[in-house]
Copies of this chain bind each other. A is one copy, B any other.
Amino acid sequence: MAQNIIIVGGVALGSKAACRFKRLEPKSHVTIIDQDRYISYGGCGIPFYVSGDVSDVNDLRKTSFHMVRDEAFFHNCKDIDVLTQTRVEKIDRENKTVQIRRMDGSTDTLAYDQLVLGTGSRPRRLPIPGIDLPMVYTAANLNDAQAIKEVVTKGQVERAVIIGGGFIGLEMAEALADMWEVETTVVEYCDQIMPGFVSSMFARMAQQQMEQHGVHFYISEEVKAIEGTDTVEAVVTNKRRIEADLVIMSVGAIPNVDLARDAGLQIGKTGAIVVDEYLRTTDPVIYAGGDCAEIRNLVSGQPAYFPLGSMANRQGRVIGTNLAGGKAVFKGAVGSFVVKTFEAALAGAGLSLSSALKAGFDAVSVQVAQLDRAHFYPGKAMMHLELVVEKETRRVLGIQGFGDQGDAVVGRIDTVAAILEDRPTIDRISNMEVAYSPPFSSAMDILNALGNTAENMLDGRYRPINAEEFAEKWSCNGDGDECLILDCRARQDGEAFAQKYPDRWINIPQDELRQRVGEIPPGKKLILLCNTGVRSYEAQLNLKEMGRDDPLSVQGGIVTLNKCGLDL
């Protein structure tokens, strides 16, 4: 029997659910209602529209075959009615109706058999003075996007401040600094960019890389006010005043749940709408998904909030199927992400070490630096991966990566993400079958090396310190807690350092270690170092065999120290 489906919100989830449902039940009637004038656009593309990578804002609204997804498109191609600039003001669950208000003030009541809530999210705005000044934007919808692009293309922006160093903040910073040569500063409240998503070391790598392209960062600073009279003039933090003629606030998303809450639907602890694995709310004829819904984190098992376009699209299809009587399931997500930082990419899936500890896991992490393809192949680049592991069970909880060839980084992350919900142990990573040919991977791929390294660490053979721990020990040198760097690289690489730091650094290439072990001065804490950590691990085993069980090995080697901004 033909149904009457109403869908509230038509950006990603709503339009996908509508189209999928209509393909399954062409004779049913579907109405999408959205308060904006634009629907069905690629909101994640906004930074790339601002950067100029995407020239026309309508490109974000088009299909891959260049049709603008407007009301006419949905009517003609999909036989779906769309009401734009129309608000749904109330849901009457008992009578299965929604009350709407059009822009002209007229109201109406529409009946539904099943209802979908794709009300999305709104950007969080800090409760600080100056927030309503002109030239203060979020980057959350096409209206904002057009306004920002207009002022930068007109040359009206010389200095911009981005509040928030998450995904959108970093992408907007790149857009402004790279294409428009705007003096761009990112202010982040937490003690690193991308807090919770990656370790502070990977955050440093991405930050340093963006700094090399001219973006400024102030970390661990709280924005107290935005100053200006007719327009923005400066952003004031707890530590400084930063002049600006454009401010973009990207400090997170808040799910739009008023309609759901007012209708008595359950709201979860993340603040988003509770749904079951069929994406049904607590009312079985009302579905919700996308940025307004709470799903399960498949690694932690906890309720989670992932406001991401790809999530909304896949959920939209599940809802479309279920509206038509199907039993499609959306189990949750492992939280895969990627953010482009100029030519590099920072990506991850599952839990970072800090989020794993916060979720109650007794977790550790291990980092590896290795070339992303055969080391003899010319197009190689260094990749950094971090694996987060539960100690006792050796279960893999998450992976993060940073590298210059984004597709290669994303490939490794996606590969591990694919199995994360199955609670894999590290041997699965050690034996991961990565398609091998020298232009694409190594015979012992970095993923395999990552699993192997985790195993060596958990078995107690590999005793690493990370870049931050090294930096701390290095800066302590000279004030009592003496340690000695044993540089395991070849002479041509290590000798200059030994000469520069005669009291703190010696160079014994790993292949000479067994002969020259007597040269190591006794009594000092040894820290083993090489280019990426391979030889220093070998040296650690050599020294253990020779009775020295205490040395630590710098994971990821000098390559990692440099990427984290440690200048030796």
Find chain B residues with CB under 8 A from A433 CB: 310, 333-334, 336, 349, 414, 417-418
Query: Is the beta-carbon distance between B48 and A439 smaller than 8 angstroms?
Result: yes
Across the interface, name the chain B residue whose C-beta is closest to A544.
B26
CB-CB contacts of A26-45 with B at 8 A, as 1s and 0s? 11000000000000001011
A440's contact among B64, B340, B412, B510, by CB below 8 Å, is which? Answer: B340
Find chain B residues with CB under 8 A from A338 CB: 435-437, 440-441
CB-CB contacts of A370-381 with B at 8 A, as 1s and 0s? 110011111000
Query: Is the beta-carbon distance between B443 and A530 smaller than 8 angstroms?
Result: no
Find chain B residues with CB under 8 A from A90 CB: none
Find chain B residues with CB under 8 A from A440 CB: 338, 340, 345, 406-407, 410
Query: Which listed segment binds B: A111-119, A263-271, A444-452?
Result: A444-452
Q: Which of A516-568 contact B (CB under 8 A)?
A: 530-532, 534-535, 538, 541-542, 544-545
* Min C-beta distance of A79 to chain B, whole Å: 7
Output the residue of A23, A62, A336, A448 with the most chain B CB within 10 A.
A23
User: A328 on the interface (CB 8 Å rule)?
Assistant: yes
Query: Is the beta-carbon distance between B410 and A532 smaller than 8 angstroms?
Result: no
CB-CB contacts of A12-29 with B at 8 A, as 1s and 0s? 100010000001101100
Query: Is the beta-carbon distance between A53 and B333 smaller than 8 angstroms?
Result: no
CB-CB contacts of A388-426 with B at 8 A, as 1s and 0s? 000000000000000001111011111111110010000
A438's contact among B45, B430, B431, B530, by CB below 8 Å, is which? Answer: B45
A414's contact among B77, B376, B414, by CB below 8 Å, is which? Answer: B414
Known: A416-B418, A461-B23. A64 touches B534 (CB 8 A): yes
Across the interface, name the chain B residue whose C-beta is closest to A461.
B23
User: A150 on the interface (CB 8 Å rule)?
Assistant: no
User: A308 on the interface (CB 8 Å rule)?
Assistant: yes
User: A110 on the interface (CB 8 Å rule)?
Assistant: no
Q: Which of A156-171 contact B (CB under 8 A)?
A: 167, 171
A151 to B345, CA, bound (A): 42
Known: A65-B530, A407-B408, A514-B79. A434 touches B336 (CB 8 A): yes
* Min C-beta distance of A347 to chain B, whole Å: 5
User: A432 on the interface (CB 8 Å rule)?
Assistant: yes
A54 to B439, CA, bound (A): 11
Query: Is the beta-carbon distance between B314 and A439 smaller than 8 angstroms?
Result: no
User: A149 on the interface (CB 8 Å rule)?
Assistant: no
CB-CB contacts of A46-69 with B at 8 A, as 1s and 0s? 001000011000011011111100
Query: Is the beta-carbon distance between B405 and A444 smaller than 8 angstroms?
Result: no
Query: Is the beta-carbon distance between B374 and A443 smaller than 8 angstroms?
Result: no
A558 to B408, CA, bound (A): 29
User: A246 on the interface (CB 8 Å rule)?
Assistant: no
Query: Is the beta-carbon distance between A435 and B44 smaller than 8 angstroms?
Result: no
User: A76 on the interface (CB 8 Å rule)?
Assistant: yes
User: A384 on the interface (CB 8 Å rule)?
Assistant: no
A511 to B348, CA, bound (A): 40
Find chain B residues with CB under 8 A from A444 CB: 16, 310, 313-314, 317
User: A180 on the interface (CB 8 Å rule)?
Assistant: no
Which 6 A-B pairs have CB atoms at the shortest separation, nearest pair first?
A411-B411, A310-B436, A407-B407, A76-B511, A64-B375, A336-B435
15 additional contacts (CB under 8 A) given A310-B444, A337-B436: A42-B376, A53-B378, A65-B489, A73-B511, A310-B441, A312-B443, A314-B448, A317-B444, A317-B452, A318-B431, A330-B431, A407-B411, A414-B434, A416-B418, A418-B418
